[in-house]
Amino acid sequence: MPKTAKIPKATITRLSIYDRQLELLEFDGYRVVSSEKLAWLCQVNPAQVRKDLGYFGEFGIRGVGYDVIDLQARIKEILAINRTWNLAIVGVGKLGSALIQHHNFSARGFKCVAAFDNAPDKIGKRIPSGLIIQSVDQLKDTVRELEVEIGVIATPASTAQMVADFLLDAEVNAILNFSPTRIGVPECCLVENIDFTVMLDVLVYKVHHEPKEPRA
């Protein structure tokens, strides 16, 4: 397998989309799928599917297609989602609470094992998932004890950097940041920033500038 540093981020994103479609195909009883059908389901072209998979080796049989179950297993292995990942969420407001209860996390192997907040009226409360909200002061000891590998920041922008520093101090080097600000981290740390306002900017740009297709 090639070094992942050479794989475009867009390819990794599409692999995740392919995996989800393969799961649906398996559920519907498909055992073989062509690159054309998989591409159509994922709204890309067949050459893109073949190029994305080609970064990681040979897949499928020419003229036949891909084995749905085998390709799904291979993609999960490539993405490293064929195992459980422990994560902790910091910030149990409306967004943090929704993330904790998001069933797709656990369904895809991401297990929320701890939740933290700094609001006195939240600390010590048991949430629907069964977790008890802990003080941020307990973060370092807890994440080490529970072997947390991914930290999720769902705090206001004003405290996001402090939380990131706490996570780094606890040797959590993978962060999913939902706060509306960029955080500063050393090169050893991986950060994915999810800013809903940026997504809305892109959406309204398309609404305003792209030609409208007539409805059927």
Q: How many CB atoms lie within 10 A of CB 214?
A: 4
Range of the domain at 46: 4-79
Q: Which residues pair with 144 in a beta bridge?
A: none
- CATH number of the domain bearing residue 73: 1.10.10.10
pLDDT of residue 44: 96
The whole-number mean pLDDT for each consecutive block of 10 residues of the chain, a chain of 216 residues, reads: 69 96 96 96 95 92 90 96 96 94 86 96 94 96 96 96 96 95 92 88 86 66
Give the β-pairing of 134-135 and 110-117.
Answer: parallel
Q: Are residues 72 and 148 in the same domain?
A: no
Q: What is the per-residue burial (b if ≥16 Cβ within 10 Å, else e) of 45-76?
A: eeeebeebbebbeebbeeeebbbbeebbebbb
CA distance linking residue 52 with residue 55, whole number of Å: 6
Asked, for residue 206, whether it belongs to a domain, the answer is no
Which residues lie below 8 Å from residue 11, measured CB to CB, with a gap of 6+?
51, 52, 55
Asked, for residue 187, whether it belongs to a domain, the answer is yes
- CATH number of the domain bearing residue 109: 3.40.50.720
Q: Are residues 177 and 110 in the same domain?
A: yes
Residue type, position 204, single letter: V
Place of tokens 């780094």: 168
* Total domains in the fold of the chain: 2
Positions of E strands within the chain: 32-33, 66-67, 85-90, 110-117, 134-135, 150-153, 174-177, 190-193
